[in-house]
Homo-oligomer: A and B are copies of this chain.
Amino acid sequence: MNNFTFKNVTDIRFGENRLDTELAGVVAPFGKKVLLAYGGGSIKNNGLYDRVKRALKDYEIFELSGIAPNPKIDSVREGQQLVKENDIDVIIAVGGGSVIDAAKVISIAKSYDGDAWDLVLDSKKATAQMPIIDILTLSATGTEMNKNAVISNPETKQKLGTRTLRQPDVSFLDPSLTFSVSKWQTAAGAIDIFSHLSEQYFDQSEDSDISRGMIEGIYRAVIKWAPVALTEPENYEARANLMWASTMALNGTVGLGNVNGWTVHPIEHELSAYYDITHGVGLGILTPRWMKKALSAKTLPRFAAFGRHVWGLSGDDESVAGEAIQATFDWIKSLEVPTTLPGVGITDTTNFKAMADSAVAVGNLTTNGYVSLNSEDVVALFEASMNNDGF
């Protein structure tokens, strides 16, 4: 097990309808001037916007709306200007990962005098962070309990991750707020969680049995409950398990002791950056192909454990490993999302080389992955994603 340092300060408020009675109280220590950050109109349509405003009736509220999926640096710049000009005390982010990620970079941009994109390119430029409270409406990214943020820059065709100085101060996790999440976004979120687990499960550390054992348990819950959430969108237990899975999969806990970095996320970020596709759907296309590429005599025991403890398979290592990869593909397909690049509208192959070069560079994939990938390997993954041959 590798050495690690771990501290996660987020105050989690998990459960139904807690914000109405608790939000005002948790904001109080931070000040009176609030930036309310959100995305499109959905929180206005479903009443959440009104509930938050009612809870904050004693606060001075400034609004930043229109934060898009794959949040763009322009929204961050707009927020930076708002918090600076009005000397705002605290950000309340209401939404999914995109809104919260934008809020996070705004929170470190208040005390930064340059362009906010600098903070995405180099997280070391952050020196202070405003308090952040979030109200999560989508189970996917885990941003509600980590320091990370992913921001896109359409001008430079970059989608990059950065790190803030600490986790959100308070996260309200109300599963019932995800009842209205579409099938598409529910599936994409579940696949995102599955991928976060995979990026940490397939790791070169040999004896991280605590982390890996916990991951296996979370995997099983996601595999079980995602299909239920699709067919019964208001099933509280399904939504609760997916929500807590999203948090636990990426609050740092289950990757402790790990050796290597992530692989599929840097590759998918290229797809999202170039084509603005849904992140989780992109991960779902790439993951089974990556697994086939990663399977070797050396990695066979890990894939066999994945098959036994996650998918409940039995048999010899080779058959269990193969069946586990197929089961992964079948589960993703069962969530009714496209499983090929043409399925999400990507039919030309002209950008494959440029995207592969960038993924390898950003993710240090030749040296930093569970299995080493060079640019040709990544191009091959893209090419294998053009159809479902072999699955």
How does the 8 Å CB contact mask read for A1-36 relative to B, with 1 for contact and 0 for none? 111111111111111101000000000000000000
By beta carbon, the residue of chain B nearest A9 is B9
Cβ-based interface call for A140 (8 A): no
**Of listed A18, A212, A213, A225, residue having the most chain B CB within 10 A:** A213
Q: How near does chain B come to A136, taking the closest CB pair, in angstroms?
A: 14
Please give the distance in Å from A381's CB to the nearest CB on chain B.
Answer: 29
Flag if B210 contacts A221 (CB, 8 Å).
yes
B5 and A244 within 8 A (CB): no
Q: Which of B5, B6, B213, B256 contacts A217 (CB 8 A)?
A: B213
What B residues does A253 contact at CB under 8 A? Answer: 248, 253
Q: How many copies of this chain does one complex carry?
A: 2
A151 within 8 A of B: no
Q: How far is the CB of A344 from chain B (nearest CB, A)?
A: 29
Query: What distance in Å separates the Cβ of A168 from its nearest Cβ neighbour in chain B?
Result: 11
Contact partners of A383 in chain B: CB under 8 A: none
Q: Which residues of B contact A257 (CB under 8 A)?
A: 14, 240, 244
Is B3 touching A16 in the complex (CB atoms < 8 A)? Answer: yes
Interface string of A111-146 (1 = CB under 8 A from B): 000000000000000000000000000000000000
Which B-chain residue is minimally distant from A7 (CB atoms)? B11
Q: Which residues of B contact A18 (CB under 8 A)?
A: 3
| A225 CB contacts on chain B under 8 angstroms | 209
Once bound together, how far apart are the Cα atoms of A212 and B6, in whole Å? 22
Taking CB atoms and an 8 Å cut-off, the chain A residues in 63-100 that contact chain B are none
User: A15 — nearest CB in chain B belongs to which residue?
Assistant: B3
